[in-house]
A and B are shown apart, each in its own frame.
Chain A
Amino acid sequence: MVADLRRCVGCQTCTAACKHANATPPGVQWRRVLDMEVGEFPSVKRVFVPVGCMHCEDPPCMHVCPSTATRKRADGIVTIDYDLCIGCAYCAVACPYQARYKTDVAQFAYGAPMPNEEIGNDEKRLGVATKCTFCADRIDSGLAKGLKPGKDPDATPACVNSCIAQALHFGDADDPGSNISELLAENQFFRMHEELGTKPGFYYLWDRK
Chain B
Amino acid sequence: MKVKTYCYQCVAGPDLLEVEVENGVATQVTPNFDAATIHPGGGKVCVKAYGLVQKLYNPNRVRTPMKRTNPRKGRDEDPLFVPISWDEALDTIARKLIEIRGKGLLDASGYPRVAASFGGGGTPQSYMGTFPAFLGAWGPIDMGFGSGQGVKCTHSEHLYGEFWHRAFTVSPDTPLCEYVISCGANTEASGGVVGVWRHADARIRGMKRVQVEPHLSITGACSAEWVPIKPKTDPAFLYALIHVMLHEEPRQRLDVDFLLNHTSSPYLVGPNGFYLRDLSTKKPLLAEAIEKTCHVKAVEIGPDEEVLAEGELQGVTAFTKLLEHMKPYTPEWAEKICDVPAATIRRIAREYLDHAHIGETIVIDGKTLPFRPVAVALGKTVNNGWGGFECCWARTMLAALAGALEVPGGTLGTTVRLNKPLSERHASVKPGADGFMAYPLNPTDKEHWKPEPNIRNAYRTLVPLAANGPWSQALGPTHFSWMFLGETPPGLPRVTYPELWFVYRTNPAISFWDTTQVAERMAQFPFVVALAYTRDETNHFADILLPDQMDLESLQLIYVGGSKYIEQFWKHEGYALRQPVVRPATEARDFTDIATELAARTGLLERYNASINRGAAGVPLKGLDWSFVLEEDRRYTRDQIWDAVCRAASAELTDGEETHGLDWWKQNGLRVKPFPQSDWYLFPTLAAQGLRFELPYQEQLLRVGRQLERRLHEHGMQWWDKQLAEYQALPAWKEFPRLWEEELARAGGKAGDFPFWLLTSRSMQYAWGGNVGMQIIREVASNVAGHGGVIINAQKAAELGIAEGDSVEIATPRRQVRARAVLRQGIRPDTLLLIAQFDHWATPFAKDFGVPSLNRLVPMSMDLTDATGSGADVVRVSIKKTQK
Residues of A within 8 A of B (CB): 4, 6-7, 9-13, 15-17, 19-21, 23, 26-27, 29, 32-35, 37, 39-42, 44-48, 109-112, 114-120, 153, 158, 161-167
A6 surroundings in chain B (CB, below 8 A) = 200, 203-204
Say whether B793 contacts A7, CB under 8 Å.
Answer: no
Contacting pair B783 A41 (CB below 8 A):
no
Q: What's the least CB distance linking A4 to chain B, in Å?
A: 8
Q: How far is the CA of A41 from the CA of B41 in the complex (A)?
A: 34
Contacting residue for B47 out of A11, A21, A158, CB 8 A: A11
Verify A162–B31 contact, CB threshold 8 A: yes
Chain B positions within 8 Å of A116 at CB level: 25-28, 53-54, 57
Q: Does B546 contact A (CB under 8 A)?
A: no
Given the interface pairs A27-B779, A109-B776, the reply to whether A48 lies near B221 with Cβ below 8 Å is yes
- Most chain-B CB neighbours within 10 Å: which of A16, A153, A166, A167? A16
| Alpha-carbon gap, A20 to B55, bound state (A) | 13
What 4 new A-B contacts, CB under 8 Å, besides A11-B765, A164-B41? A46-B826, A115-B25, A164-B46, A167-B200
What are 15 A-B residue pairs whose CB atoms fall within 8 Å in the complex?
A4-B204, A7-B203, A12-B764, A16-B776, A19-B776, A20-B50, A32-B783, A41-B825, A41-B826, A41-B827, A42-B228, A116-B27, A119-B27, A153-B30, A164-B44
Q: Is the CB of B783 within 8 A of A34?
A: yes
Residues of A within 8 A of B44 (CB): 13, 162-164
Check A15–B780 contact: CB distance below 8 A.
Answer: yes
Assess whether B99 is interfacial by the CB under 8 Å rule: no
Complex Cα distance, B19 from A116, in Å, reads: 12
Within 8 A of A (CB), among B781-814: 781, 783-785, 793-795
**A153-B42 Cα distance, complex, nearest whole Å:** 12
> Contacts A9-B188, A10-B783, A40-B825; is A119 near B218 (CB within 8 Å)?
no
Bound CA span A109–B33, Å: 29
Which B residue's beta carbon lies closest to that of A161? B31
Going nearest first, the 5 A-B pairs with the smallest beta carbon separation are A46-B221, A16-B50, A20-B28, A114-B57, A109-B775
A110 pairs with B825, CB closer than 8 A: no
A166 close to B201 (CB less than 8 A): yes
With beta carbons under 8 angstroms apart, the residue of A20, A33, A153 that contacts B27 is A20
Which residue of B193, B585, B785, B826 contacts A44 across the interface (Cβ within 8 Å)?
Answer: B826
B732 contacts chain A at the CB level, 8 A cutoff: no
Task: Say whether B664 faces chain A, with CB atoms less than 8 Å apart.
Answer: no
- Determine which of A7, A112, A115, A158 lies in contact with B200 in the assembled complex, contact meaning CB atoms within 8 Å: A7
Complex: chain B residue closest to A15, CB-CB: B780
Bound: A179/B630 CA distance, A:
54
Q: Which residues of A contact B781 (CB under 8 A)?
A: 12
- Kindly provide the distance from the CB of B800 to the nearest chain A CB, expressed in whole angstroms: 15
Q: Which of A45, A110, A153 contacts B59 (CB 8 A)?
A: A110
Residues of B734-771 contacting chain A, CB below 8 A: 764-765
Chain B residues numbered 216-243 whose CB sits less than 8 Å from any CB in chain A: 216, 218, 220-222, 226, 228
A110/B60 in contact, CB under 8 A: yes
Shortest Cβ distance from B153 into chain A, in angstroms? 22
Residue contact A44 to B31, C-beta cutoff 8 Å: no
| B764 CB contacts on chain A under 8 angstroms | 9, 11-12
Question: In the complex, which residues of chain B have a beta carbon less than 8 angstroms from the beta carbon of A34?
Answer: 783
Contact B23 A40 (CB under 8 A): no
Chain A's closest residue to B781 (CB) is A12
A119 touches B22 (CB 8 A): yes
The reply to whether B825 and A26 contact each other, CB–CB distance below 8 Å, is: no
Sort chain B's interface into a size bin.
35 or more
Q: How far is the CB of B535 from chain A (nearest CB, A)?
A: 14
Closest A residue to B774 using CB positions: A109
Q: Is B783 touching A33 in the complex (CB atoms < 8 A)?
A: yes
A12 adjacent to B793 (CB under 8 Å): no
Residues of A within 8 A of B28 (CB): 20-21, 116
Does residue B840 face the partner (Cβ distance < 8 Å to A)?
A: no
Q: Does B29 contact A (CB under 8 A)?
A: yes
Q: How distant is A21 from chain B, measured CB to nearest CB, in Å?
A: 6
B829 contact set on A, CB distance < 8 A: 41
Q: Does B703 sit at the interface, judged by CB under 8 A? A: no
Nearest B residue to A41, CB-CB? B825
* Contact present for B221 and A166 (CB under 8 Å): no
User: What is the interface of chain A mostly: helix, strand, loop, or mixed?
Assistant: mixed
Question: Which chain A residue shows the least CB distance to B216?
Answer: A46
Residues of chain A within 8 A of B777, CB atoms compared = 16
Interface pair A16/B47, CB less than 8 Å apart: yes
- Max chain A CB contacts within 10 Å: which of B44, B216, B777, B780? B780
Distance in angstroms from B167 CB to nearest chain A CB is 25
Confirm or deny: B666 has a beta carbon within 8 angstroms of a beta carbon on chain A. Answer: no
Q: Using a CB-CB cutoff of 8 Å, which residues 404-435 of chain B contact chain A?
A: none
Interface assignment of B824: CB less than 8 Å from any CB of chain A: yes
Which of B50, B51, B793 lies in contact with A41, CB distance below 8 A? B793
Q: Which residues of A contact B166 (CB under 8 A)?
A: none
Given contacts A16-B776, A109-B775, contact A40 B47 (CB under 8 A): no
Cα distance, A4 to B196, chains bound together (Å): 14
Q: Which residues on B sit within 8 Å (CB–CB) of A115?
A: 25, 57, 585
**Is B719 close to A, CB under 8 A?**
no
Q: A16-B780, A20-B28, A161-B30 are in contact. Are A109 and B54 (CB under 8 A)?
A: yes
Q: Which residue of A lies closest to B777 (CB)?
A: A16
Q: How far, in whole Å, are A27 and B178 apart by their CA atoms in the complex?
A: 41
Asked if B59 contacts A164 (CB within 8 A), the reply is: no
A167 to B29, CA, bound (A): 20
Report the separation of the CA atoms of residues A41 and B257 in the bound assembly, to the nearest whole angstrom: 43
Is B197 in contact with chain A by the CB < 8 A criterion? yes
Q: Which residue of A is nearest B780, CB measured?
A: A12
Residues of A within 8 A of B189 (CB): 9
Cα A71 to Cα B195 in complex, Å, equals 41
Give which listed residue, A12, A21, A41, A163, contacts B784 with CB less than 8 A.
Answer: A12
Residue of B nearest to A114 (CB): B57
User: Which of A117, A119, A164 is packed against the most chain B CB atoms within 10 Å?
Assistant: A164
Cβ-defined contact, B47 with A12, below 8 A = yes
Q: Are B47 and A13 in contact (CB under 8 A)?
A: yes
Q: What's the Cα separation between A176 and B243 when bound, in Å?
A: 53
Bound Cα distance A183, B46 (Å) = 25
Given contacts A6-B204, A16-B776, A114-B57, are A165 and B50 in contact (CB under 8 A)? no
Instruction: List B contacts of A45 (CB < 8 A).
Output: 221
Inter-subunit contact A40/B795 (CB<8 Å): yes
Q: Which residues of A contact B51 (CB under 8 A)?
A: 16
Q: Which of B41, B59, B204 makes the CB contact (< 8 A) with A112?
A: B59
A8 to B583, CA, bound (A): 37
Query: Using a CB-CB cutoff of 8 Å, which residues 378-428 of chain B contact chain A?
Result: none
**Contact residues in B for A15 (Cβ distance below 8 Å):** 47, 780, 783
A41, B25: Cα distance in complex, Å: 49
The reply to whether the CB of B828 lies closer than 8 angstroms to some CB of chain A is: yes
In whole Å, how far is B47's beta carbon from the nearest beta carbon of chain A? 4
Which residues of chain B are within 8 angstroms of A4 by Cβ–Cβ distance?
204
- Interface-centre pick from B193, B779, B781, B829 (highest chain A CB count, 10 A): B779
B228 touches A41 (CB 8 A): yes
Residues of A within 8 A of B60 (CB): 110
- A162-B60 Cα distance, complex, nearest whole Å: 28
Query: Is B670 located at the chain interface by the 8 A CB criterion?
Result: no
**A20–B776 Cα gap in the complex (Å)?**
10
Closest to A27 in B: B779
Q: How far is the CA of A39 from the CA of B704 in the complex (A)?
A: 51
- A13→B826 CA distance, assembly (Å): 23
Q: Is the C-beta of B45 less than 8 angstroms from some C-beta in chain A?
A: yes
* Residues of A with C-beta under 8 A to B41: 164
Contacts of B220 in A (CB 8 A): 46
Are A165 and B31 touching (Cβ within 8 A)? no
| Chain A residues positioned under 8 Å from B228 (CB to CB) | 41-42
| Complexed CA–CA distance, A42 and B216 (Å) | 10
Assembled-state Cα–Cα distance A15/B779 (Å): 9
Contact, CB under 8 Å: A12 / B196: no
Min C-beta distance of B577 to chain A, whole Å: 22
| Chain A residue nearest in CB terms to B44 | A164
Find out whether the CB atom of B828 lies under 8 angstroms from the CB atom of A10: no
Cα distance A171–B28 in the bound complex, in angstroms: 24
